[in-house]
Amino acid sequence: MAKRKTKYVCQECGYESAKWMGKCPSCNDWNTLIEEVEASSGRNQHTVSGGVKNASKPEKITAIESEKEPRMTTSMMEFNRVLGGGIVPGSLVLVGGDPGIGKSTLLLQISAQLADKNLSVLYISGEESTRQTKLRADRLGIKSDSLYVLAETNLFDITKQIDEIRPSFVVIDSIQTIFKEEVQSAPGSVPQVRESTNELMKIAKTNGIPIVIVGHVTKEGAIAGPRMLEHMVDAVLYFEGERHHMYRILRGVKNRFGSTNEMGIFEMKEEGLREVMNPSEIFLEERSQGAAGSTVVASMEGTRPVLVEIQALISPSSFGNPRRMATGVDASRVPLLMAVLEKRVGLMLQNQDAYIKVAGGVKLDEPAIDLAIAVSIASSFRDQATLPEDIFIGEVGLTGEIRRVSRFDQRVQEAAKLGFKRVICPKKNLDGWKIPKGIQVVGVDTVQEALDTGLAR
């Protein structure tokens, strides 16, 4: 009888070692290496189609036909936008998010919408019974004979049901509950998650069935399990938001079939998630008129411009080291912009506490928001409000210059549509396009010019 081979695998990052160690040398976490029994070297010849797939041969790239991937579209345009236009057949999508944020609700609604189009959908729940899933479906008003529900965690039985039903769309909720019998470890461990995802990827690619898997997240907000899990799938979506707030944000961080900067916004209702078609109005509906430290910026989220309010509060510091806190923007940009204001404009901010916030819970990370942050800081420090009809767009350099931004015309058109009267922007962005009617575009070269133009006297 052959001796069983064992190894020690880190449950946080997937690092493998021949012997036990108290501290993982890869992620530096303590007591995370767990003994695992290596799987047998024999190949598993089972496939959903019941046969063995022949080895593929290399082809000339010029001989491969270029075909546009057909997509399955849902009734939620926000979900379609984040995926790049819809669900690609044969794709494997990973959806992560905090517990109770609404991942299961979103995917059950998506499944029902596809089932209403006479597509067979299989919803596999490893955490809830079929009765629990039925209760959620009743609350959401879901009634479709093409939607099948299965409460199973054994990957072999799941594969068997997919082979029998031949669905057009599959949801696995969640991957941490699925186990493969050949892997001698507990469900949710690194080997189980890796091998189960690899098997599901083979099913999706071989049969052209799009599969969406739900992944748990860690305390830090990253998807639990090995990092290679995100490399294996075709798209990674994060469902973000506060559980006690009504708005949710679906953000794509990886997408092989579309942009990785798209964002979809949903509102949580009693009857489920409702998509928000114009998020700019929501982010600006509670804006205070005439308040110092408040500015509006047009930020690009993928292919869509979103108008967001940026708030700043500058107050004298009571400590030796002033505080610099930011919510929704990169915290390292705040002291950088304050240094530019102090050096190039002459604002004495070295003994001031600074608090920056993006209203609505949105996270902005593009350089075009620099000017709005700088103006809001100066507005709060001088206690001078900006005009409510003004919007600020531009990147701020270390020498105080205002640099051009991309997709400027789309940002201005969105501002004009929402009733803004003036855009303060880089002067180099004024050439080569037509200004919409009803809005004035003012070009500036430096932060000083922007402050002289934007702060109300």
Q: Per the annotation, where are the binding residues for ATP?
A: 97-104
In the block, which residue shows the tokens 């506060």? 242
Closest by CA position to 251, among listed 111, 81, 367: 81
Name the amino acid, one letter, at 45.
Answer: Q
Strands across the sheet containing 304-316 = 294-301, 304-316, 352-358, 324-327
Q: Are strands 247-255 and 272-275 parallel, antiparallel or unpaired?
A: unpaired
Exposure string of 203-222, with b = 16+ CB inside 10 Å and e = fewer, is bbeebebbbbbbbbbeeeee
Closest by CA position to 107, among listed 159, 175, 158: 175
Q: Residues annotated in the binding site, as ranges?
A: 97-104
Q: Are 121 and 148 in contact (CB under 8 A)?
A: yes
User: Is residue 295 packed enough to be buried (19+ CB in 10 Å), middle (13-18) or exposed (0-12)?
Assistant: buried
Cα–Cα distance, 368 to 189 (Å, whole number): 42
- DSSP secondary-structure letter at 56? P
* Rg of the chain taking only CA atoms, in angstroms: 26
Cα–Cα distance, 278 to 51 (Å, whole number): 49
Helix/strand/coil for 363: coil
Cα–Cα distance, 20 to 39 (Å, whole number): 19
Q: Are 361 and 274 in contact (CB under 8 A)?
A: no
